[in-house]
Structure 1
């Protein structure tokens, strides 16, 4: 009788890949976690309980078949595990690195709920696809037959790229338009290299290009080409622009020099690590070296900023957040990594204004948590008379993102948006009120996760293929 490969969670504890020591990893922008060796990946995958109702799968936006590819990994059948993994996820190695597994699959693992420690799903997912790349199993899309129909995709972030891949596999001609000089969107210019090394994103660009996707980069829709022209050139259009408008801060001194947006700060850092010429970084405007840095916000973007500032050589890095640690929206794992690297979190604190121009300090008002608001979270309340000034030479605003006014930017008033400025689209097909125009990702959801954008892109691509096929049959 074959030895049982699974259900080893009783005897084996949870392990993550080796994490580089804080004093070493803060000297560069390389990823902080090592790779599982084959034996360790098999061992950790074998802890899966193969439960009858896999909550890990149901809490994954892509509904990845996690128990089955864990079992295949435990049995040493890694190529089969890869085929199963990529069947539902266009970029599993990216999700394995940057998904907040503690809030999704791992946080809902059955053995985690029973006190045995969750299966290390994200690290195994990363191991499977990194092995597939190393072994040459990852191939460009090769459709059975080419089709004449074409789709224009606006935005080369995860939603747009996932849709491009899916459409090419169906033989559809695809052109992707993007404002930046590289594809990937926030995966390239927002997320730092210590969470996602850029080669991981760039090789996906190369794969898509090899599969026949055409990229038109450095292209601002509404300036370099009109939305109407894109619609005229293609049978369908997919809007996947993401959200890039930063939420702003009000208060005295909020316009002072030295107060910068998180997206500008992170983009400058990522460009510098690509080797680009970045005058704003070289001048010190978007560089934390030798500065007292205060980051305002408690989400994942704030965590990216504080950890970037540490690596740039800031003399001190503090993060102000108006609620406490238990109520912050960012990943607890990222918060722990930041604390290990020397970031100081100042909980229950909010900016009231700013001193100096250039900025020399943040006027902070202390908060306490009161009654729950409509979302169920306790609302912060100001503690009167507890204000103080936090010294700062660089203040980074990481308060989240909002959609740009696309109907105005693109001179397209027929494009319907919600009261929040997000594009209205059907939640199943992702089609907008404009015939043949679809929208996915953050521009529909508001600022969200990469994994949700991938799901939207795949769903929209399938809907587009169905619509184009139906039209082609009707025309015969």
Structure 2
């Protein structure tokens, strides 16, 4: 009798890919997890229970057909697994690396709820697509028919790139504009190499270029080209700029030298990984080497900063967060990795003031948790008289991001925004109040996950194609 290829979770234990030892990995920017071998990927995929209502799929923003490609992997049909994975996700090898699976697919796995340990969905997803690249299954897009209509996309991050891929598959002409010298947005300059090595991003950019997507880099809308000129040049526009305005610190001394923005610090580090010369690093301004580093914040950006500082040779790295471990927004997996690598977390602590010029210390207020706030988490309250000073040569602000004032920057005051400054867009079509102008990703949602930006980009592309088809049909009649 042939052994059932699935439902092996009772006999087969959960096993992640091997993680490099902390003392070795904290000295370089290579990814910390090894790749599954083929047999291991089959074994771990076979643990899937193939449940009738797959919560993993329901809780994935892209609704990836996870049980299907796990079964195909378990039975050795890897190319089909890739095709199923790629059908719903533009960048599965990226999501497999950086998605917070513990909060999404894996966190809602049925066998996890029954105490058997979740299926390692993210690692298998990464393995499938990495193998697809190695085997040559990932091809440039070749649309069946080329169309005359063109779409301009502002922002070469995950939302913009996902839309570009989808539009090219429909034969639409696509031009992507970005302020940076390389495409990829936060995938390129925001996320460190130890989570997402840059050749993984660059090969996707190259694939899109070979698919006919044009990139206009080092281009600031409102300066190098006006928004109105872009609207005149293209049939439709898609805004996918992300959010890059840093929430600021308050308190005496917060403007001192040595207090830097997380985005500047991470961008500098990622530029170095490309071999670029970065004056701010060479001068020591954005270097942690030999310094006592304090990172303020508790999200994934803060985790990226503390782990980068360790790799740059900091004397010490501490992360201040005003709530406790259970209430922090960042991935618990990332916190564990950071602790293994030598980061010290100071819970229930918030900055009150800064001393020195350049900065030499952070006045820290000790906190306690009170009643829940609007987010459902307990609100931090100051413990009077419990202040102390934390020594610091470099303070990194990782307090989150807010949208820039797009209507003013682009001289488009009629573009509607919310009271938070995010662009208003229809939640189904992603069209703004300006006809033919769409918006996706963080500039609509606020700071969010890469996987949500990918979903938005794909949905907006489909809505644009539908509108172009309707217009073409009317013209033909």
The normalised TM-score by structure 1 is 1.00
State the match for 1:12 in structure 2: 12
1:3 CA displacement: 1.8
State the match for 2:393 in structure 1: 393
Q: Does 2:239 align with 1:239?
A: yes
Alpha-carbon distance between aligned partners in 2 of 1:162 and 1:97, rounded to the nearest angstrom: 17
Alpha-carbon distance between aligned partners in 1 of 2:423 and 2:140, rounded to the nearest angstrom: 31
Deviations 1:159-216 (A, max 9, x none): 0000000000000000000000101000100000000000000000000000000000
Give the root-mean-square deviation of aligned CA atoms.
Answer: 0.4
State the match for 2:326 in structure 1: 326
Equivalence map 1:94-113=2 (5 Å)? 94-113=94-113
Alpha-carbon distance between aligned partners in 1 of 2:26 and 2:379, rounded to the nearest angstrom: 35
Alpha-carbon distance between aligned partners in 2 of 1:205 and 1:190, rounded to the nearest angstrom: 16
Q: Does 2:93 align with 1:93?
A: yes
State the match for 2:357 in structure 1: 357
Q: Does 2:174 align with 1:162?
A: no
SS of residue matched to 2:82: helix
State the match for 1:336 in structure 2: 336
SS of residue matched to 2:153: strand
Alpha-carbon distance between aligned partners in 2 of 1:164 and 1:207, rounded to the nearest angstrom: 11
Alpha-carbon distance between aligned partners in 1 of 2:360 and 2:413, rounded to the nearest angstrom: 44
1:457 CA displacement: 0.1
Deviations 1:8-46 (A, max 9, x none): 000111110000000000111000000000000000000
Alpha-carbon distance between aligned partners in 2 of 1:343 and 1:172, rounded to the nearest angstrom: 48
State the match for 2:474 in structure 1: 474
Q: Does 2:441 align with 1:441?
A: yes
Alpha-carbon distance between aligned partners in 2 of 1:252 and 1:349, rounded to the nearest angstrom: 17
SS of residue matched to 1:9: coil
1:375 CA displacement: 1.8
State the match for 1:41 in structure 2: 41
Deviations 1:37-95 (A, max 9, x none): 00000000000000011000000000000000000000010000000000000000000
SS of residue matched to 1:396: strand
State the match for 1:83 in structure 2: 83
Alpha-carbon distance between aligned partners in 2 of 1:2 and 1:185, rounded to the nearest angstrom: 49
1:2 CA displacement: 2.8
Q: Does 2:452 align with 1:452?
A: yes
1:273 CA displacement: 1.1
Alpha-carbon distance between aligned partners in 1 of 2:325 and 2:375, rounded to the nearest angstrom: 17
Alpha-carbon distance between aligned partners in 2 of 1:267 and 1:407, rounded to the nearest angstrom: 26
State the match for 1:276 in structure 2: 276
1:108 CA displacement: 0.3
| Misfit runs of 4+, over 4 Å | none
Alpha-carbon distance between aligned partners in 2 of 1:48 and 1:316, rounded to the nearest angstrom: 42
Instruction: Structure 1: give runs of 5+ residues left out of the alignment.
Output: none
SS of residue matched to 2:9: helix
State the match for 1:346 in structure 2: 346
Alpha-carbon distance between aligned partners in 1 of 2:376 and 2:269, rounded to the nearest angstrom: 36
State the match for 1:302 in structure 2: 302
Deviations 1:276-316 (A, max 9, x none): 01000010000000000000000000000000000000000
State the match for 2:411 in structure 1: 411
Alpha-carbon distance between aligned partners in 1 of 2:374 and 2:208, rounded to the nearest angstrom: 43
Alpha-carbon distance between aligned partners in 2 of 1:115 and 1:45, rounded to the nearest angstrom: 17
1:414 CA displacement: 1.4
State the match for 2:50 in structure 1: 50
SS of residue matched to 1:165: helix
SS of residue matched to 2:456: helix
Q: Does 2:247 align with 1:209?
A: no
Alpha-carbon distance between aligned partners in 2 of 1:158 and 1:2, rounded to the nearest angstrom: 43
Q: Does 2:152 align with 1:152?
A: yes
Alpha-carbon distance between aligned partners in 1 of 2:224 and 2:357, rounded to the nearest angstrom: 37
1:395 CA displacement: 0.2
State the match for 2:286 in structure 1: 286
State the match for 1:193 in structure 2: 193
Q: Does 2:120 align with 1:120?
A: yes
Instruction: Structure 2: give runs of 5+ residues left out of the alignment.
Output: none
1:319 CA displacement: 0.1
SS of residue matched to 1:456: helix
